[in-house]
């Protein structure tokens, strides 16, 4: 079995307050985008996990794909399987690649072992792995709240929009990013999206200024995309990736650090 975990971008990201559990209450609109990792599942007599492609930082802890397998193994006694991850989505980049890998692992193993878990079941399991993981279970545009696990699917017009996505190769620690941002409980994020030409004023990423001050190449890249005619340009998540949305396929954009240029349209 082969599945293709995709990345996401954020339209705005408001940090409202710090919670008693150490997380933050946030609001954001999350969109799936057509930039993929590859996960392959094959039969095995013992559990195996291998990774290739982009180098994944090793700190001695178990990765999210393995954690997803272990979660189902403990809960449902699933048997062994061999998992190979081809990592292509930039890491520590605000694109949710690790969360997507974990969620797609849950979905694939649910099918592989015929567990018959519902979407709600899978989202509840995914929430144990990370705040962004539940989003990738349904994998549709959604308004997210709480620590990111409370999701409300939304209708949003992405037809004919193009995205230019850049990653400067900077690993931004999520913990350090949250430490640098000042929570603002108001105003809350708009849930009614309207058209793309209204998003620049509506959807502000609270991480963009503090991260851009430390890494000015991000702020400069966003400014350049606006200068080149982007209807909306912003940083995704806590960075370091940034993107511009265009009404038609842009030409003559800077290609340095560009990781995707093409239609934004939703994929599954």
Instruction: State the catalytic residues.
Output: 8, 132
Q: Which long-range contacts (CB under 8 A, 24 or more apart) does 49-52 make?
A: 49/82, 49/83, 49/84, 49/85, 50/82, 50/83, 50/84, 50/85, 51/84, 51/85, 51/86, 51/87, 52/84, 52/85, 52/86, 52/87
CA distances from 168 to 68, 85, 88, 137 (A): 29, 23, 15, 28
Pairing of strands 82-87, 48-53: parallel
Which conformational region is residue 143 in: left (phi greater than 0), alpha (psi within -120 to 50 degrees), or beta? beta
Q: Give the list of residues 6+ apart from residue 47 with CB closer than 8 angstroms, or none.
A: 69, 73, 80, 81, 82
């Amino acid at each position: 079995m082969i599945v293709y975990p995709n990345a996401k971008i954020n339209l705005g990201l408001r940090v409202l307050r710090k919670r008693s559990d150490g997380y933050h209450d946030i609001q954001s609109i999350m969109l799936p985008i057509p930039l993929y990792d590859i996960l392959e599942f094959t039969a095995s007599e013992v559990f195996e996990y291998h990774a290739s492609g982009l180098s994944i930082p090793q700190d001695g802890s178990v990765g999210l794909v393995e954690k997803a397998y272990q979660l189902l193994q403990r809960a449902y006694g699933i048997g062994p399987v061999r998992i190979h991850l081809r990592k292509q989505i930039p890491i520590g980049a605000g694109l949710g690649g690790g969360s997507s890998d974990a969620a797609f692992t849950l979905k694939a193993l649910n099918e592989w072992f015929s567990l018959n878990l519902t979407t709600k079941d899978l989202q509840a399991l995914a929430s144990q792995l990370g705040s962004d993981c539940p989003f990738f279970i349904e994998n549709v545009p959604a308004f997210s709240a709480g620590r990111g696990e409370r999701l409300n699917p939304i209708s949003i017009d992405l037809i004919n929009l193009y995205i230019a996505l850049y990653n400067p190769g900077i690993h931004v620690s999520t913990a350090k990013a949250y430490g640098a941002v000042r929570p603002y409980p108001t105003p809350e994020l708009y849930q009614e999206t309207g058209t793309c030409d209204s998003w620049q004023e509506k959807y502000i990423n609270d991480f963009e200024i503090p991260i851009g001050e430390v890494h000015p190449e991000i702020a400069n890249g966003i400014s350049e995309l606006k200068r080149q005619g982007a209807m909306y340009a912003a940083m995704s998540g806590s960075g370091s990736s940034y993107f511009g949305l265009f009404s038609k396929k842009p030409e003559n954009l800077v290609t340095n650090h560009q990781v995707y240029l093409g239609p934004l349209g939703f994929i599954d």
